[in-house]
Structure 1
Amino acid sequence: MRTDDFDYELPPERIAQEPWPVRDECRLLVMDRKTGEVTDRIFRDVAEYLQPGDVLVANETRVLPARLLGSKRGTGGACEVFLLRERFDVEPKTTHTAVWDVLVRPGRRLKPGTGAMVDFEGPDGNVVLSAEIIDWGSDTGKGERIARLSTPLDSFDEALHAAGHTPLPPYIKGYAGDEEMYQTVYSQAETSAAAPTAGLHFTPELIGSLKAKGVEWHTVELQVGLDTFRVVDEDDPAQHAMHTEFYSVPQSVVDACDAAHARGNRVFAVGTTSVRSLESAFDRESGKLRARDHEATCLFILPGYTFGVVDGLITNFHVPRSTLMMLVSAFSTRENIMAAYKHAIDSEYRMLSFGDAMLIC
């Protein structure tokens, strides 16, 4: 198995640059998990493939306004600081300060030990948040640093919402529409650097109709990291170091999945982050799903993996050579996935985060 096995030609014009105006009216490519047979549908048709008693599990995380655009104190040079994950192990969080792992640009101007400070303004032009670069991050080659953030406002959360912007994937250029379209309608706590994009296609009405049909709706939380957009650089994917993310699976989800399987129903994951949450919570020794509360996972799902919980998957189309291409290939076969992607591109499906959806069952 080579990383090249999960590469495909993605024409730039097929990358969706804005969301579909009505979430559940985008296209849906339905693929038989075993045979690879594909059918072209509309997303709201997903209800036809779900039976009463089936369970849908979605990731309820919300995207932080994690992109901060500011100026370096003393020089006025433009800088960008991107929040990755909060660091409670460096120093205690207070009302007005917090420490985060961040990405910075330009890295040459923002080095630890130089007193580098970046200020960020709110809508009124006043500085509402500042970042002091205090240490190197775990991957300095990609611009990672550790920053102490401070604010004169009443809370860090208030400052972040005054200065921050919702981050979009790097392949989406110049989107100026409603940033709420990059949030799911059921999102809750702001804990992620990127959206669980398979869930973007659901509307309250569709969720309501599924529940009325007898389909159970449940949520987990996985804090999506920026690494979700990165491709695998190693020739052998087994040598790739999977990034760590934190996830929670409530006992109510465990009970629902166990009950569904006991009565012969299926568990559908909405998105690869829900897959990783459920499969990370599955105890291989006991063969049982276990509740988890803010635990770390670096689960890397490659072809050959045996799924313990998930029977069906709703997902978007993914970046070539990514860990997500490997995950969906593991859920079916590489050959089936590559054929389905070719069909999608030839049929002018809209690809990636703002694009169309795929149901594998």
Structure 2
Amino acid sequence: MKGQLIVRQAGNSVVTDLGRFRGPRYGLPVNGALDQYSARAANILVGNDENAPLVELTALDFRMTVTTDVLISVTGAPLTLTVSNRECPLWQPVSVAAGETVAIRGIHGGLRAYLAVHGSVDAPTLLGSCTPDTVVGFGLQLREGMVLETRCSLGPLRQPYFDMPLFRFGAERPPVGHELVVSVTDGPDFAEFGDSANLLFTSEYRVSPRSNHIGLRLGGRLPERTTTGEVLSRGVPVGAIEVPSREELLVLHRGRGVTAGYPVLAVATSLGLDVLAQARPGDTVHFVRTTVSEATIAYRRSMLELETLRKSVGTAFGLLGIPSPGGGQDLPAA
């Protein structure tokens, strides 16, 4: 049975998925959840496919009321999650009864959180993805009073003794904090910065309040390009670290355009981008040099963690007779 999620306080929230992977070939950014690990985990914890639509919350508080029984999970930055004023755990499935209000408050030690609902929610799609795109004006930005349709209902799941948590999957990640360590590989123009390129690894950078999902602007000691030739516009990857001026670094995030004409000093790894997704204005960033091989191994290790989590959730849900709307799929690591 379908139900509804009625938004009581929207904050800064959108419905998204892992990204529009068909977009770049048409000149559209991939976009999608900025903290991909947290978004994948949220969906896995409620038995969804990793790429199912979910709600991404940025910085501000959020409240909603449900009209049917649902199972939810909240991951990402540390925060306080309550269901009808009852505090509930993060990074675990949480049962919500019809008529109850879910509140997410006090995001801290990070910037973004992810709310997934068992069975997911209905959302319009463009090129196979519901992820918002500010350039073309597409996407579902939530507003107070808006109603999201849920795709299925699930009866209440409560531990009958002492009201203890029913699930303990151990999926929580360490808090990010306000000093971030981000792994990067050498960019195509690394050699053009000569010895000054190493400043990227020996200096600290501060996140500017002008940062957004398109790119993070970072102030600090900047490497200087030793060549003077013009850089032609070309395709740039998500995570490219550019030096567009003498004032700041620019780390291109998932909302970046597909081409640019600035020198690319380095490229943040997939896991490094997850860290940067939680960067708040004023946070300090330290870059650590790695190789493509090392970055690939680290990424595969994180995906193995999620696969182990999926198997644990699948086993528990199977024993409880909970249907799994999604079974996992391989997606690009864009």
TM-score by length of 1: 0.24
Q: Judging by fraction of residues, say which structure has more helix.
A: 1
TM-score by length of 2: 0.25
